[in-house]
Each structure stands twice: as structure tokens, then as C-alpha cells.
Amino acid sequence: MANVAVIGAQWGDEGKGKVVDWLASRADLVVRFQGGHNAGHTLVVGDQTYKLSLLPSGVVRGKIGLIGNGVVLDPEALLSEIAKVTAQGLTVTPENLRIAENVPLILPLHPALDKARETARGGDKIGTTGRGIGPAYEDKVGRRSIRLCDLAEPETLSKKLDELLLHHNSLLRGLGAPVFEKQALLDGLLALAPKLLPFAEAVWERLDEARHSGKRVLFEGAQAVMLDVDHGTYPYVTSSNTVAGSAAAGSGVGPDAIGMVLGIAKAYSTRVGSGPFPTELHDDIGRGLGERGHEFGTVTGRPRRCGWFDACMVRQAVKIGGINGIALTKLDVLDGMAELKICTGYRIKGEVFRRLPSAFQAQAAAEPIYEVLEGWSGSTRGARSYAQLPAAAVKYVRRIEELVEAPVVLLSTSPDRDDTITLRDPFAG
């Protein structure tokens, strides 16, 4: 059996939670490999709904969850999330949750800088969640991060805080924001140490052991390819690499260990926050998609922008992200629509493109070229086989496969984890 990496194939919020939950029930280990608590998965298990931001989805299914070194970890957010799911009946201890000892930490100064920068941008806001993700990744590549392992060495922690504050307090002063005092930060981190260090380990060693013993590993991504810091709609992106290749670097395995790459895509498109969105609908159709699809961010609660399926963009995500198969979600949201549109390319200043260019103004000027398909009056909700789908729905899915150049291997027809049409087992490779 192969390992599986799950990534978003659009701008995030594609319904990864349900798919990851379904796969996690059959995995031995679930690894979160990038991002922070700015992303979230919603898992519906029986009468319980779990909203996870940092915890790997496997903990809901009693599996071992690993937080890899590619994540930026907010200690307070993690402990709060553990308390929340514990109150819902889950058990999260060092027995079933392990955290890479070299994971960078998000400190209170990171969200402070994040928010101060967004305020300074005025009308040109990027649309960050203000949770300090970007500044924490900046510290990582700037080689000044406080990492989990530093909590075990108070002297190291003290010296690193001096360097960190030299950098951040200068920026905060320049932005007219309050600065931070070293002692308060040091005391806070030392108080957190006994709560966090029991979870720390060399995650790469556990993954190496799992590989040699034939265990199934699920690599769980956050956000999506079009929010990748290199390949997305820059600068309206997240601060990490969201493509499947980062599962290796972000967890401590070789690229050959990633296995099948499953890309999650909605049957239409959504986006939270600012940035280009060629197929966005500002009319009753767009509002209807948002209402029927309950399109609100898991973490932020922000309403999502909605539009038609962009096959040109998903095809780009397939190529860049190394996607082997698509899990198409929320097909039932399209039930009852007389006609549907799929974007097959863009017109930019009179020129036709089959990809979304990297240049900022070109992205903003992209006008979608649509192909119109017949909708369906019947219901797809709850369907568990192709035979239960209206013919027009099958045609819509088949056309998406052709345009994105990847097969649909899973088809979700409701939030219920069992309402899934399985055309290929991702763990079969």
C-alpha cells in the first residue's frame, strides 16, 4: 500500500476535512507538513463537528498525529485546540500526538507585526488572518526562530530572544505599534515548556521507522496550490509552499515517500480574502453558491467569494502540485442549476492564455473564457455510485477530468463522510 499526500487544488477551503478524515481512518500516521493555525479542516463524525487548525486529522480517528517541522506552531493556539477537542470527548496526549522538535514557534510578537503591517497597507491589504504566520516564516528563513527544542535550553532561549526582539521591535516602532519586553516573553515561554516538551521528538525518525515497517502515512496539507508562496497568485498567497513536494521537506522524508498525490477541488470555485479570482460571480448565482455551500472560513468565519469552476487554474495546480488524482467535492451544491460554466482559459488584453500568468497586473486583468454545460434537475446529494447520478452530472465530472488532465478518483456528494463515490483507492497507489 502507498502513502498519500492530500493538497488543495484551488485556493483552499475545498472540503479537505471530509476527505482527510476518510483517509485518516485507514492510515497509521497522519502528518501535518506546512502552514499554521491560519487554516482549518472541519470533520463531521457522528453528531460531533470538529474544527481543527493545527491538530492532524488522524487524532479524531485515534491515530497518531504528527506536526512536522514545516509547520509554524502557535503554542497557545495548540493548547487551546487540545482543550477544545478534549471537551468534545477526544484524548490528545504525547501518546497520540508528536511534534517535530525543530518546529518554529509563533510568539505574541508575530501576530502583532502581522496586524500592524496589514493596517499600514490600507486599501492594499493582502488579506492575512493576522495570526502571525508570515512573520514566523520570515524568522525561520532569517535564522532567528525560537524552535520547540529551544524551550529545553533556557540560556539558548534567552540569547535568541535578544536577537529576535532587536529585529521585531525595530519594525514595530517603525509601524507605530507597541513593542515587546524580553522578560515577559521569556517567562511565558518557560511556563509553556513543561506543557509542550513532552510532545517533542525527532519526527523524521518515527517516519523512517514507519516506512521500514510498511505503515501507511497520510501527509495532510493546508491551504492550496494557488496560495503557494512560489506558485500562487503572489502576493495574495500564504507564506509556505503548499504543493506536495513540501511534504518531504516539511516532515523529514525523501520525496519518494510521499506516494500518491490527491488534489481536492470543489465542483465550483471559492476564495477567502483578497487577490485575483477570474471566475468570481457578484450576482445571485454567486450568492446562491455561497448560501447552499455554507461558504464561511473554518478558522476566520469570513464569507468566501464564489464563482464557476476554473479548469484552467486546476489544470495548472495539477501540473505544479504533482497531483495524480482529483477528489471533487460539493457536487450537490450545483443541483437544480439550469446551466453551468467551466473556465477553459483567459483573455488578457486580447491575448488568449491557457494558464494564469505570474505577473500581478496580468492576473488582475484575466477575463475567463467559458464553456457552457447543461445542468441537472435531479439530486446528487448522498449518491454513493455513478449510477445514482443524473446523466448531466456525470457529463460535468467527465468534462472536468478532460480539462484538468487528471482523473476524478473520489466524488463527494454531501458532508457525510460515507457519501463518497470511490473510483480508485488512493492508498493503492
Residues marked as catalytic = 13, 41
What is the DSSP code string of 296-357? B-TTT-PBPEEE-EEHHHHHHHHHHHT--EEEEE-GGGGTT-SEEEEEEEEEETTEEESS--
Show the cell assigned to 60: 479524531
* Residue pair 90/59 in contact by the 8 Å Cβ criterion: yes
Could you tell me the sign of the dihedral formed by the alpha carbons of 126, 127, 130, 134, in that order? negative
The phi-psi region of residue 353 (left if phi > 0; otherwise alpha if psi is between -120 and 50; otherwise beta) is beta
If you ran DSSP here, which 8-state letter would residue 415 be given? S
Q: Considering only CA atoms, which of 71, 8, 3 is closest in space to residue 320? A: 8
Cα atoms in the Cβ-side hemisphere of radius 13 Å centred on 113: 25
Helix (H, G, I), strand (E, B) or coil at 9: coil
CA distance readout (Å), 99 to 25, 36, 62, 360:
20, 13, 16, 37
Cα atoms in the Cβ-side hemisphere of radius 13 Å centred on 41: 30
Q: Which residues of 340-379 are buried (b: 16+ CB within 10 A; e: fewer)?
A: bbbbbbbebeeeeeeebeeeeebbeebebbeeebebbeee
If you ran DSSP here, which 8-state letter would residue 105 be given? B
CB-CB neighbours of 116 under 10 Å: 19
- Residue 193 φ then ψ, to 5°: -50, -50
Residue length, the chain? 429
- Strand (E) or helix (H) holding 51: strand 48-52
> Which residue's C-alpha cell is 524552535?
147
How far is CA 182 from its chain centroid?
A: 33
Between CA 380 and CA 281 the distance in angstroms is: 23
